[in-house]
Each structure stands twice: as C-alpha cells, then as structure tokens.
Chain A
Amino acid sequence: EVQLVHSGAEVKKPGESLKISCKGSGYTFTNYWIGWVRQMPGKGLEWMGIIYPGNSDTRYSPSFQGQVTISADKSIRSAYLQWSSLKASDTAMYYCARLNGDHIDSWGQGTLVTVSS
C-alpha cells in the first residue's frame, strides 16, 4: 500500500525557519514525482512545486519560486519543504502528494503550520 506520512504539526514565530517532511513507503520512491500543496484556512488547494527524488529535478510554481525550498533524500525516502523566514501568511495545511503520470493518486495526511507571534 502506498503511504505518505508527514511530520507533525508546527507552531512557529515570524522570521523563524522550518523544514517539514513527508516519508514515502509501499512503492519505489525514486520513480515518482512528489508535489507539495498548500491549503490556507478555508481556501482551495495550491500546487507549490514538484521534485523527482530519482535525480532531484525540482520545479516551482511561479507563486512559490523563491519563497520555499523543496528537496528530497532518496536514501531515507523522504521529501522536504523548507522556509528560511516564515511569515504569518504561511499559516496553512501543507500536503505532499504522489504524482502518478498525469494525476495525483496518493496524498499525505498533511502538516499544519501555524505562524504567530
């Protein structure tokens, strides 16, 4: 069974850094793109960017270029989403998702990030 398991919820202050993770299991981790999705409170889903763990090819949606860093460590089957300086507007639920060719076929349970002074 394909599973994506997120790291736990985070509460941070503005200006702090953060790295959240998503660990894949039940499939060949290096063979599928992993994407990150933001869902702000009460809002829709936003596609932030993708990474191919097999060769670390990373691509960002224009709105998120320069705002976050996506990375992966294939040796431990994990993908990461990182901020260097959080803002209150980064408060959201973040999901990782497996891209199976043309569609997302598996989602993580999400990591809730709260940024508040």
Chain B
Amino acid sequence: QSALTQPASVSGSPGQSITISCTGTSSDVSGYNYVSWYQQHPGKAPKLMVYEVNNRPSGVSNRFSGSKSGNTASLTISGLQAEDEADYFCISYTSSRTHVVFGGGTKLTVL
C-alpha cells in the first residue's frame, strides 16, 4: 500500500481537461509545499512534470499544472492530447528518514 493515495485510472477525450488527485497526511502533502508529479510512458523512465506543487521544469508544456489544498494535491492536464496517455505518479517530501513518499500511480487514458 502506497503512502499517498491516487485514483487507479482517469480518462478524458482529446481537448478536455482532467485532474488527478494525490492524498496524503500532515506528515507529507499538507506539511510541505513539496509535491511533484511524474509522467511515465510504457517501457520508459519517469519524467518530472511538476515540482514544488506548481512549478514546471523547462520544456514541460504549460498544459500541465499543479495545485494543493490541505492533504490533497492535484495535477491538471488541459487540452488533452493522445501523447498524454501514460501513468502519472505523485511524490511528496516527508519528515521520514527517506525524504520522500510515493503515490500508487494513475493510468490516464485518452479516449
């Protein structure tokens, strides 16, 4: 069982917006503004999409945005494209000795 809870799957049609949630506790998500999101296509290594709740690394499309409210962080993808179909994982900084905790992952299907 993962420390952070994500829905197993979400779906949307091209052009629509979807939101993936990531729920934790006061020891991680709500305790720090340090939630990051990763995209993983089959057979590929994960790619950083958002860090520190709502910052995008250079080169990541502005269709990807992050937010947080209380114990729940969210990743929103607007203007869905076929290439967005992938698994998405959240990670939060935590007070534990290993520094971060992972979400279980969400499979995004673009219909």
* Residues of chain A whose beta carbon lies under 8 Å from any beta carbon of chain B: 33, 35, 44-47, 49-50, 59-61, 95, 99, 101-105, 107-110
Q: Measured between alpha carbons, how far is A26 from B98 in the docked complex, in Å?
A: 24
* Residues of chain B whose beta carbon lies under 8 Å from any beta carbon of chain A: 2, 32, 34, 36, 38, 40, 45-48, 51-52, 57, 87, 89, 91, 93, 97-105
Assuming the contacts A108-B45, A110-B45, asked whether A99 and B102 have C-beta atoms less than 8 A apart, the reply is no
B105 touches A95 (CB 8 A): no
How many whole Å from A100's CB to the nearest CB in chain B?
A: 8
Q: Could you list 17 examples of A-B contacts with CB < 8 Å?
A: A35-B98, A44-B87, A44-B89, A45-B105, A47-B101, A49-B98, A99-B99, A101-B93, A102-B32, A102-B36, A104-B36, A104-B46, A104-B100, A105-B51, A108-B45, A109-B45, A110-B45
A interface SS class: strand
Q: Which of A60, A99, A109, A110 contacts B100 (CB 8 A)?
A: A99
B36 touches A47 (CB 8 A): no
Q: Measured between alpha carbons, how far is A67 from B48 in the docked complex, in Å?
A: 28
Contacts of A33 in B (CB 8 A): 99
B48 touches A103 (CB 8 A): yes
Contacts of A45 in B (CB 8 A): 40, 46, 89, 102, 105
